[in-house]
Amino acid sequence: MADKKIYQASTTAPVNIAVVKYWGKRDPKLNLPTNSSVSVTLSQADLRTHTTAACSSSFGNEDTLLLNSSPQDVTGARTQACFRELRALRSSLEASDSSLPKLSTLPLRIVSENNFPTAAGLASSAAGFAALVRAIANLYELPSSPTDLSRIARQGSGSACRSLFGGYVAWQMGSKADGSDSVAVEVAPASHWPTMRALILVVSAEKKGVSSTSGMQITVATSKLFKHRAEVVVPQHMEMMEKAIKEKDFETFAKVTMMDSNSFHSVCLDTFPPIFYLNDVSRSAIRVVEDINKKAGKIVAAYTFDAGPNAVIYFEEENVEQVAGVLKSALGSLDGWQGRDIKVQDTEGV
Ligand code: 2P0
């Protein structure tokens, strides 16, 4: 009788919020970026994707994926690239050890749940693909390092490569055409700077108007400002940001975070037709952060916005009242607002 056994493994992956943003692809197929980026991984206690990967000959012929109980299309090139790469690694393990079950040829059944709004500019694709890749890597018992897995997760969604690590993470853009050097590396673990906190202002939990993938392609094709950002602004921000993280220099970290977010949204506005991710509530959050910093006489809070109107505010624990308290009272009465005081996730817990 054929083996009908169900093999399975589960994992969770965290969300990361970039402080130097990825925007633009030099190779859309491999998700190779036009600039490097840096992010902070947020605690899984607050935001995470939980994924179970299973395989069995009893699953029929097709791979399937359920996200928040809804069936998803797995035939897209990105998901297929992740499945193909992971199966190839499992297949070479099986070739070198004939006692291993032949999992690489069995259909996969993936079940994922997010505990936060999907596709609302809260990096759901990052946590989603990171969890999918690691769940299958665990199922296949692959000896791959987080950086090895980041190379695969990047092909699912660029920002996903940064969610394989906790703490402070850089995605090095790389220069090779095959993408083998376009991977994530740890800049510093969460324990290096344990006082860092993030507050998320959920301005809207609706799906974003323009997807990151199509938005950045239109930017690359139409924005003249984009070239300056990718070639001049981001390399400077990368250097300043990595140094600020290593030295735990919050003022520089915050200044670069805000300036890089503004630079990214300027490039969106310079895209033709323009892309608007910020709304009136986003702009009032910027003003409140500016007021907080003015009152403090130094920079104690930094705002950043991804491809949506929700704000992420970084601050240090000692300033929680000054920052989170003021933001909550200033913006708390708005509909759909939600504030959480989130720690940085350790790699060990990822
Ligand atoms: C980032 N974003 O660095 C930037 C900032 C949005 C703004 O990475 O096409 O969903 O799947 O590679 O990773 C969102 O882009 O795009 C993103 P794809 P992804 O976090």
- Nearest ligand 1 atom to the CA of 37 is 3
Q: Is 37 in the pocket of ligand 1 (CB under 6 A)?
A: yes
Beta carbons within 10 angstroms of residue 135's beta carbon: 27
User: Interface pTM (ipTM) of the complex?
Assistant: 0.98
Read off the CATH number of the domain in which 274 is found: 3.30.70.890
**DSSP readout, 5-74?**
PPEEEEEEEE-EEEEE----EEETTTTEESS-EEEEEBPTTTSEEEEEEEE-GGG-SS-EEEETTEEE--
Q: Does some domain include residue 54?
A: yes
User: Coil, strand, or helix at residue 113?
Assistant: strand
pLDDT band at 340 (very low <50, low <70, confident <90, very high): low
Q: Is residue 260 lining ligand 1, measured as CB closer than 6 Å?
A: no
How far are the Cα atoms of 74, 90, 111 from residue 6, in angstroms, in the given order?
20, 17, 14
Look up tokens 């324990």; give the residue: 191
Task: Kindly tell me if the per-residue pLDDT of 336 is higher than 70.
Answer: no
Q: Measured from the CB, is residue 22 less than 6 Å from ligand 1?
A: yes
**Chain-centre distance for alpha carbon 107:** 27
**Largest interatomic CA distance in the chain:** 75
What distance in Å separates the CA atoms of residue 347 and residue 287, rounded to the nearest whole number?
34
The C-alpha atoms of residue 86 and residue 133 are separated, in whole angstroms, by 8
pLDDT digits (tens, 9 = 90+) for 172-207: 999 999 999 999 999 999 999 999 999 988 877 676
How far lies 154's CA from each of 126, 142, 312, in Å? 9, 18, 23
Question: Are residues 176 and 265 both part of a single domain?
Answer: no
* pLDDT score for 339: 61
Protein residue whose Cα sits closest to atom 20 of ligand 1: 18
pLDDT in tens, 118-159: 645 566 789 999 999 999 999 999 999 999 999 999 999 999
Residue 117 is predicted with a pLDDT of: 65
Is 58 in the same domain as 139? yes
Report d(CA 332, CA 139) in Å as an integer.
Answer: 43
Question: From the CB of 35, is ligand 1 less than 6 Å away?
Answer: no
Report if residue 2 sits inside a domain. no
- Give the model's pLDDT for residue 210: 84
Ligand 1 mean position, distance from CA 284 (Å): 24
Q: Ligand 1 mean position to 281 CA, how many Å? A: 22
Question: In angstroms, what is the span from residue 35 Cα to ligand 1's centroid?
Answer: 12
Q: Are residues 16 and 74 in the same domain?
A: yes
Helices first, then strands: H and E counts in the chain: 10, 15
Final residue belonging to a domain, choices 189, 217, 249 = 189
- The total domain count for the chain is 2
Cα(1) to ligand 1 centroid in Å equals 47
Identify the domain boundary among 162, 189, 216.
189
Q: Is 13 in the pocket of ligand 1 (CB under 6 A)?
A: no
Cα of 158 to ligand 1 centre, how many Å?
A: 6
Domain hosting residue 12, numbered range = 7-189
Own/partner pairs, 247-253, CB within 8 angstroms, 24+ separation: 248/192, 248/193, 250/299, 250/300, 250/316, 251/298, 251/299, 253/19, 253/302, 253/314
Please identify, by atom number, the ligand 1 atom nearest to the C-alpha of residue 125: 10
For 287, which DSSP code? H
Q: Could you tell me if 66 and 207 lie in one domain?
A: no
Which percentage of the chain shows pLDDT scores above 70?
A: 94
Q: Measuring CA to CA, how many Å separate 350 from each of 10, 42, 269?
A: 12, 10, 36
**Whole-number average pLDDT of the chain:** 93
Q: How far apart are CA 315 and CA 289, in angstroms?
A: 10
Instruction: Tell whether ligand 1 has an atom less than 6 A from the beta carbon of residue 44.
Output: no
* One domain, residues 228 and 159: no
CA pair distance 193, 218, nearest whole angstrom: 37
Q: Looking at the structure, do residues 178 and 208 belong to the same domain, yes or no? A: no
Is 15 touching ligand 1 by the criterion CB < 6 Å?
Answer: no
Alpha carbons 103 and 7: distance in angstroms, whole number: 8
Let me know whether 208 and 181 are in one domain: no
Could you tell me if 34 and 178 lie in one domain? Answer: yes
Which atom number of ligand 1 is nearest to the Cα of residue 20? 3
Helices in 159-249 by DSSP H: which ranges?
A: 212-222, 225-228, 234-247
- Is 348 inside a domain boundary? no
- Is 301 within a domain? yes
Residue 1, domain member (yes or no): no
Q: Is 307 in the pocket of ligand 1 (CB under 6 A)?
A: yes
Name the DSSP letter for residue 223: -
What's the pLDDT tens digit per position in 202-214?
877 676 678 899 9
Residue in 282, 283, 331, 322 with CA at minimum distance from that of residue 301 = 322
47 and 177 together in one domain:
yes
- 105 and 244 share a domain? no
Cα 261 to Cα 155: distance, rounded to the nearest angstrom: 24
186 Cβ below 6 A of ligand 1: no
Question: What CATH number is associated with residue 162?
Answer: 3.30.230.10
Residue nearest to atom 8 of ligand 1 (CA): 159
